[in-house]
Amino acid sequence: MRPLTPPPPTLDIRGLRITLPGTARPVLDGVDLHVAAGETVALVGESGSGKTLTSRSALGLLPPGATIEGAVRVSGQDVLTMNTAQLRALRTGTVSMIFQDPRAALNPMRRIGDFLTESVTLTRSMSRTDAAARATELLQAVGLDDTALRRYPGQVSGGMLQRVMIAAALMGDPALLLADEPTTALDVTTQAEVIALLARLRERFATGLLFVTHDLDLAAAISDRVYVMYAGRIAESGPAEALFARPRHPYTSALLASAPRLDAPPGRLAAIDGQPPDLRKELHGCPFADRCHLATEICDDQAAEPLPAPGRPHQRAACHHSDRLEGSSADA
Write the secondary structure of the chain as one string of H (helix), E (strand) and C (coil).
CCCCCCCCCCEEEEEEEEECCCCCCCCEEEEEEEECCCCEEEEECCCCCCHHHHHHHHHCCCCCCCEEEEEEEECCEEHHHCCHHHHHHHHHHHEEEECCCHHHHCCCCCCHHHHHHHHHHHHCCCCHHHHHHHHHHHHHHCCCCHHHHHCCHHHCCHHHHHHHHHHHHHCCCCCEEEEECCCCCCCHHHHHHHHHHHHHHHHHHCCEEEEEECCHHHHHHHCCEEEEEECCEEEEEEEHHHHHHCCCCHHHHHHHHHCCCCCCCCCCCCCCCCCCCCCCCCCCCCCCHHHCCCCCHHHHHCCCCCEEECCEEEEEECCCCHHHCCCCCCCC
What pLDDT was estimated at residue 298? 95
Q: What are phi and psi of 144, to 5 degrees?
A: -120, 160
Q: Which phi and psi angles does 258 have, rounded to 5°?
A: -90, -5
Are residues 113 and 135 in contact, defined by beta-carbon separation less than 8 angstroms? yes
Task: In whole angstroms, give the CA distance from residue 232 to residue 254.
Answer: 18
Residue 58 vs residue 172, higher pLDDT: 58
pTM higher than 0.85: yes
pLDDT above 90: residue 236:
yes
Q: Is the pLDDT of residue 270 over 90?
A: no
Q: Is the pLDDT of residue 330 over 50?
A: no
pLDDT confidence band for 5 (50 / 70 / 90): low
pLDDT score, position 118 = 86
Over residues 170-197, mean pLDDT: 85
Q: What is the dihedral of CA 175, 101, 277, 268, to 10 degrees?
A: -120
| pLDDT value, residue 4 | 53
Distance CA 247, CA 288 (A): 15
Residue 6: pLDDT band (50, 70, 90) is low
For the chain, which residues make up each domain, given as ranges?
11-104+174-324
Sign of CA dihedral 212, 213, 218, 223: positive
pLDDT exceeds cutoff 60 at 2: no
Structure-model confidence comparison of residues 104 and 316, the more confident one: 316
Pick among 3.30.450.40, 3.40.50.300, 3.30.300.30, 3.40.630.10: CATH of 11-104+174-324: 3.40.50.300
Give the mean pLDDT of the chain.
88
* Length of the chain in terms of residues written: 332
Q: Which residues contact 233 (CB under 8 A, 6 or more apart)?
A: 29, 30, 31, 50, 287, 303, 318
Q: Is residue 332 scored above 50 in pLDDT?
A: no
pLDDT at 264: 66
For 28-80, what is each residue's pLDDT tens digit? 999 999 999 999 999 999 888 999 999 999 999 999 999 999 999 999 999 99
The Cβ of residue 85 has, within 10 Å, a number of other Cβ atoms equal to 8
Mean pLDDT of 190-195: 82
Beta-sheet pairing, 28-35 with 208-213: unpaired
Q: What percent of the chain has pLDDT over 70?
A: 95
